[in-house]
Structure 1
Amino acid sequence: MSLTRPTSRPVRTALAALGAAALAGSALAAAAVPTAAAAPATAAAPADRNDWNADAYRGGVEVVPGDGKGKDRRTLTGRVFLDADRDSSSDRRERGVAGVLVSNGRDVVTTDRQGRYELPAYDNMTVFVTQPAGYQVPVDEHNIAQFHYNHLPAGSPELRYGGIEPTGPLPEAVNFPLVKSRLTQSREQDCVIAGDLQTYDKEEVGYARAGAIADLAKRRDYAGCGALFIGDVVGDDLSLYPDVKNLAGELNGPVRFLPGNHDLDYDATTPEHSFDTFRAQLAPAYYSYDVGRTHVIALNTVRYPCTPDVDNADGQRPNCNDPRKSPSYNGRLDENQLKWLERDLAKVPSDRLIVVAGHIPLLTFADEGSARHQVDQVREIYELLEGRKAVSVAGHTHSIENMKTGDLFKGWRDIFGVEGLPFPHITAGAVSGDWYSGRLTDKGYPVAVGRDGARPGVLTLEIKGNSFKERFTVTGEKDDVQMQLGVNSPTYRTWYADRQAWNKSKQGPAPELADTRVVTRDDLTGTTWLTANFWMGSTGSKVKVSLDGGRAREAVRTQQARGEDQLVGPEWSDPHAVAQQLVHGGSVADRTMHLWRFELPADLEPGTHRAKVTATDAHGRTFTDTLEFTVADER
């Protein structure tokens, strides 16, 4: 599946304009829209918590211009220093910081006792420092971390969105300022991972601001680790980067970005310049940083334009065969980045938690049979991480996937020869959800239920030492909102097929879905399931259902992650999500790896019944929800 928003943009109707008749077709559809009483994601912090805006270290990298006389010089020097007066300018009284990693995107060196470093220089390179734990790099007025210098003497080739301006001769020095930080020293960190902000226009910037950004602006728990936006920061229109910077300015911690396939300079003719505008505006294409006992590696997993010799030697990526007339992208690291990754990891202590972040996932359930939507060198990356505690986080698929060590799907074996995950992989969902599709909520952003039935939101890694727990926060909700219940009956499955056919033809009146909370005897004898879409559910999770106060019984997970292919279709779908999507537009949740089903007994007595659902995640945390439904002889 192409991970590009559908061309036809769904018509959005403000919730306030929806009358009872508009909702009567699906009683469950209304439940997905937060009510006016819904609580914010996290309450405002107590007064004694860190005040980020008052304490933030603001500044930039010190670039000492060269005089041009040494233009044949092929070595860059500089130092990492403790910026005592916080002016971003080094002086003799400010001591250097030893043992800090500095890179040119290929080589990785460590500063000496005076904080000095020396690196080979290249005409197109980004030089960056790896923030050490216990220190903080400066942030600009938008909270964006400042830790790199782009060197491109002649500037980018002509690009629609500008790229990198000519930098001229190699600088005399590039010096990286730091200040000490108790926040980044702490062994306990909350790291926000935000997938696919992906705003296509200023209206969608407003949706993001009213939704996930407003939620994050209320939180005070991530000032150390900060927020990492893992690609597709915008939706092809790179002129929106200033708007994204303004969004970052509303957060309460350092903000970092990595690039996605919708952040490309599409008019670049070679991969060397495909992210020049991103590099100029936001961040290096790849880099690393430390907080506590965690080493975060931000990768560029998008190669554009991909080429047949490099990307399609095995014939599995035909989209790469004509880069001149039909340029396309592929999930791949270039050779320089792969060398850098090996050298970076070689300098990281073995007891650290490694967070590997990328836009295109190393491996994914949503596109497990597609080579281009996963990373070509996944096995090489696994070899580099062998024996380490690690977790992979990614975006791209606009879905949530909490995959544990040992999980396996058919496509991973068939395409990459992988026989099970060596460490957890998490696809972090999307701030934009399903590309800002569907109806508007009363809070001013679309419902945007995803292709897996999940809702928009952000991931947080709760880290203690070198261990972590994952937490997904639904936009506009408290943290205990972790699942959605539904009823999958023969009546629903018939409507699913009829409505899908009608959506293609638009002939005659649209099929209407009857109230899914009313189940007939024919539905029960034809197999009806109560469904629980437990968004962060995974291998090791359990879902139990108690009917009318009776003994709780286990529901069955539809995808066991034991080497099977995807199960696709109405019987494997999330009925609550589909009831909205087939009517109001967007993707269709016809497959998901976090759906549990409980078959309702065929002999249930007529009348109203109450199902209590308890979901327990792999860490032992429990969440409950209830659903009332009625058994009737007929509709």
Structure 2
Amino acid sequence: MSSSRERTKLHVALALTTLVAGSLAAVVPASGAAAATRPGAWNDSAYRGHVEVVRTPDGPADPSVLTGTVFVDRDRDSVHDRHERGLRGVVVSNGRDVVTTDARGRYRLPAYDNMTVFITQPSGYQVPVDESNVAQFHYNHLPEGSPELRYGGIAPTGPLPDAVNFPLAESRDTQSREQHCMIAGDLQPYDKEEVGYARQGAIADLSRRDDYQGCGTLFIGDVVGDDLSLYPDVRELTKLTNGPARFLPGNHDLDFDSETAEHSFDTFRAQLAPAYYSYDVGDVHVIALNTVRYPCTPEVDNADGLRPQCDNPSTRPAYNGRISDDQLAWLERDLAKVGRDKLVVLASHISLLNWADEGSPIHQVDQVRKVHELLQGRKAVAVSGHSHSIENMKTGDLAKGWKDLFGVEGLPFPHITAGAISGDWYSGAITDEGYPVAVGRDGGMPGVLTLDVRGNSFRERFTVTGQDDDVQTQLGLNSPTYREWYAARQSWNDDQEGPEPQLGDQLVLDREDLTGRTWLTTNFWMGSTGSTVTVKLDRGRAQRATRTQEMRGEDQLIGAEWSDPHAAAQQLVNGGSVADRSMHLWRYELPADLAAGEHRAVVTATDSYGRTFTDVLEFQIVEQR
């Protein structure tokens, strides 16, 4: 997703960081996530190879049909040797049709002039990865190649091969019922400097983890920021990770010079992955969708008049959140091959539904109700990126825009917006570790999502870049003084005339702040329906804080009163979005008669699984400033 303002990278000393209180204690996050194999084990044992494309001078007997074999590559040379058995029951697709291999591992698929043929990796086996750890499980067929595109697209593939054979290696990692699936939102570097920020930040964190070798990392779109020549730099980053890397496309991965949607992701397909596909690990079926249609057109995307951006594809091309008809047919056929006891992880860039853009038909998916119908009765979770926010939305949650735009009456299964490695587009002050603070529009921090899976059940957790898993909250004080400064600073930022309004020490409140209503705020990044926040002030009893958005169908509450004061104070000074709304903010009103002097608030956030996280905020009351 594009930032609505110029992205800034101000190297400013941040005086406001004292507002964040590090967690003092926490239950270890879900299901043994800290367990790891020895460092370097992935590179010692990774199955490296490629898809085998077989050509002969005579070509295939029937050029309208693609054939091949899925085989167990015992010697790991990516060549289907005589002694290597074919594997029965593996799902193979051309992006439209879906078939399974026979007893000898063979498949037959109709051939199209523009198609990507791929397999669904079965549990207990691993597709090969290349030297950059990028999974190799597909073949692009485009005889004449892409139309002329700035970043190259797909080179001419020539006639249909005699066979495309897909190698697999046996894998205990993908067979295990315990999986840790890394979901990485919006890496989105616009230049090599920002590639370096990612390397110093979230990628460095991933390089130190060894718990995701089976499921790997799924980068859920906006892999780069419009400059597709950075894909090789991204591959240098995935070399540092400890598991297979997979990608799905986002609206900043487009070939913007493509005149039709048919070729709008050709460079992505050539260098990274199919535009959509699926794979299995343990008891999980992961579906990677393409939810970006570019250029969108009036007859397809704006038939209901809600998307006028799509009315001029030739002169003012734009994108829309939509699944193509071919892909929707593939999705239905793919799911028909999946046992109903599996957990389905439905991953996309543009969300089926999200909260940050709940009133936008462009930034959610047109066919959301159809997708919900296809998953009816299944255990499922949708994960997405795009909005650069963290949103943990549970079954039954409802936002006003979902009902108004799509007729959705409540989520049929959890939907999670996974945050972003780039955070708020690498904005804000630079940390000592060499990457920007990049506090998000919801007050969230840069980082990655993990789905910790046992069998067909999962628990989600968000890991802030550079932090331990017990850092899950940030605290602040939303006072009248802060709210007055918020308005003055916004106005000053617009014209920058006169002296800058100064906020002063946010941890000092006076009597007027208390009588004018001051809230202690808790931004609980993965907080959701079913979570609670309590505040223990000094030696008093713990009191429940109130969630600002109940997710019962209400509209968004926007403005200084509903903002995260810690995040917004940084953003208004150092640039970036402003956290003027959040679906995971709790607040507790401080008593108006609180005595002058030093005070200590102990805040305990409890998630929907009963995991607890404790923060402390110390502040001072004075009678008058």
TM range (shorter): over 0.9
Looking at structure 2, the residues matched to 8 and 327 of structure 1 have their Cα atoms a distance apart, in angstroms, of 21
Identity %: 71
Is 1:333 aligned to 2:331, yes or no? no
Between the aligned partners of 1:527 and 1:11, the Cα distance in structure 2 is: 34
Matching residue's letter, 1:256:
R
| Contact 1:67–1:172 (CA under 8 A) maintained in structure 2 | no
- Say which of 527, 535, 543 aligns to 1:553: 543
Rounded Cα–Cα distance in structure 1 between residues aligned with 2:404 and 2:360: 10
Q: 1:287 maps to what in 2? A: 277
Counterpart of 1:631 in structure 2 is 621
Provide the TM-score with structure 1 as the length reference: 0.95
CA distance in 2: counterparts of 1:31 and 1:527, whole angstroms? 19
Alignment correspondent of 2:79:
89
The answer to whether 1:492 aligns with 2:482 is yes
The residue correspondences of 1:309-458 to structure 2 (distance < 5 A) are 309-458=299-448
CA contact (8 A) 2:482 2:503 kept: yes
Counterpart among 250, 253, 257 of residue 240 in structure 2: 250
Q: What's the counterpart of residue 582 of structure 2?
A: 592
Give runs of aligned pairs for residues 203-214 of structure 1, distance below 5 A.
Answer: 203-214=193-204
- Once the two structures are TM-superposed, the CA of residue 7 in structure 1 deviates from its matched residue by 5.3
Q: Please, which of 80, 90, 113 is the counterpart of residue 100 of structure 1?
A: 90
Q: What does residue range 193-204 of structure 1 map to in structure 2 within 5 Å?
A: 193-204=183-194
Please report how far the alpha carbon of residue 56 of structure 1 lies from its aligned counterpart in structure 2 after TM superposition: 0.1
Q: Answer yes or no: is the 8 Å Cα contact 1:301–1:359 preserved in 2.
A: yes
Contact 1:71 1:169 in 2 (8 A): no
Give distance in 2, aligned partners of 1:428 and 1:187: 23
Aligned to 2:226: 236
> How far apart are the structure 2 equivalents of 1:186 and 1:50?
20
**Other structure's SS at 1:487 match:** strand
Paired position in structure 2 for 1:29: 17
- Superposed displacement of residue 91, structure 1: 1.3
Residue aligned with 1:372, SS = coil
Counterpart pick for 1:189 among 163, 172, 179: 179
Does the 8 Å CA contact 2:389/2:442 hold for their aligned counterparts?
yes
Equivalent-residue separation in structure 1 for 2:271 and 2:85 (angstroms): 30
Say whether the 8 Å CA contact 2:605–2:613 is kept in structure 1.
yes
Which residue of structure 2 lines up, in the alignment, with residue 510 of structure 1?
A: 500
The yes-or-no answer on 1:529 pairing with 2:519 is yes
User: Who is 1:124 aligned against?
Assistant: 114
Partner SS state of residue 534, structure 2: strand
Residue 234 of structure 2 is aligned to residue 269 of structure 1: no
What one-letter code is carried by the residue in structure 2 that aligns with 1:293? D
**Cα distance in 1, alignment partners of residues 316 and 378 from structure 2:** 40
What's the counterpart of residue 9 of structure 1? 7
CA deviation after TM superposition for structure 1 residue 12, in Å: 1.9
Say if 2:517 is the partner of 1:519: no
Shift of 1:10: 1.8
Q: Residue 192 of structure 1 aligns to a residue in which SS?
A: strand
Partners of 1:43 and 1:218 within 8 A in 2? no
Equivalenced residue count is 618
- 1:32–1:447: 8 Å Cα contact kept in structure 2? no
Per-residue deviation, residues 315-364 of structure 1 (Å, max 9, x unmatched): 11111010000000000000000000000000100000000000000000
Corresponding residue of 2:25: none
Q: What residue number does 1:462 align with?
A: 452
Note if contact 1:451-1:590 (Cα within 8 Å) is conserved in structure 2: yes
Contact conserved, 1:610 with 1:626, CA < 8 A, in 2?
yes
1:67, distance to aligned residue in structure 2 (A): 3.2
Per-residue deviation, 1:140: 0.1
Question: Equivalences for 1:123-162 in 2 at 5 Å?
Answer: 123-162=113-152
1:575 and 2:565 correspond:
yes
Determine the structure 2 residue equivalent to 1:37: none
CA contact (8 A) 1:126 1:149 kept: yes
Deviation by residue 1:175-200 (Cα, 9 ceiling, x = unmatched): 00001000000000000000000000
Q: Specify the SS of the correspondent of 1:58.
A: coil
- Asked if the contact 1:45/1:219 (under 8 Å) is kept, the reply is no
- Tell me which amino acid in the other structure corresponds to 1:29: T
Provide closer, same or farther for how the CA distance between residues 47 and 357 of structure 1 changes in structure 2, counting only shifts above 3 A. closer
Q: Secondary structure in 2 aligned to 1:206? A: helix
TM-score after normalising by structure 2: 0.97
**Whole-angstrom distance in 2 between the partners of 1:497 and 1:526:** 16
The unaligned stretches of length 5 or more in structure 2 are 23-28
**Post-superposition CA distance 1:215-250 (Å, at most 9, x none):** 000000000000000000000000000000000000
Check conservation: 1:44, 1:220, Cα contact below 8 A: no
SS in structure 2 of the partner of residue 178 of structure 1 = strand
Q: Would you say the 8 A contact 2:21–2:617 is kept in 1?
A: no
Secondary structure of the residue aligned to 1:280 is: helix
Conserved? CA contact 2:427–2:576, under 8 Å = yes
SS in 2 for 1:379: helix
Give the deviation of 1:550 after TM superposition.
1.3
SS at match of 1:412: helix
Larger CA deviation: 45-54 vs 387-396:
45-54
Corresponding position of 1:38? none
The match for 1:301 is 291
Equivalent-residue separation in structure 2 for 1:215 and 1:458 (angstroms): 9
Shift of 1:619: 0.5
The alpha carbon displacement at 1:30 in A equals: 4.5
Structure 1, 68-77 or 472-481: larger mean CA deviation: 68-77
Counterpart residue identity of residue 204, structure 2: A
C-alpha deviation, 1:11, in angstroms: 4.0
Q: Distance in 2 between matches of 1:105 and 1:293?
A: 23
Query: Does 2:72 match 1:74?
Result: no
* Pair 403,45 (structure 1): closer, same or farther in 2 beyond 3 Å: closer
Q: In 2, Cα distance between the equivalents of 1:634 and 1:269?
A: 64
Structure 2 CA distance, aligned partners of 1:322 and 1:464? Answer: 48
Is 2:608 the counterpart of 1:618?
yes
Q: What is the alpha-carbon distance in structure 2 between the residues aligned to residue 45 and residue 238 of structure 1?
A: 36
Are the equivalent residues in 1 in contact too, given 2:489–2:501 (CA < 8 A)? Answer: yes
Which amino acid in structure 1 is aligned with residue 229 of structure 2? S
CA distance in 2, matches of 1:542, 1:59: 48
Give the whole-Å Cα distance in 2 for the aligned partners of 1:31 and 1:478.
18
Sort the Cα spacing of 1:33 and 1:245 in 2 relative to 1 into closer, same or farther, 3 A. farther
Aligned pairs for 1:49-60 (under 5 A) are 51-60=41-50
CA gap 1:46/1:127 in 2 versus in 1, 3 angstroms = closer
Deviation at 1:31, TM superposition (A): 4.7
Give the SS at the match of 1:264: coil
Aligned partners of 1:405 and 1:309: how far apart in 2? Answer: 33
Q: Is the 8 A contact 1:520 1:633 kept in 2?
A: yes
Instruction: Please tell me whether the aligned partners of residues 66 and 170 of structure 1 are also in contact (alpha carbons under 8 angstroms).
Output: no
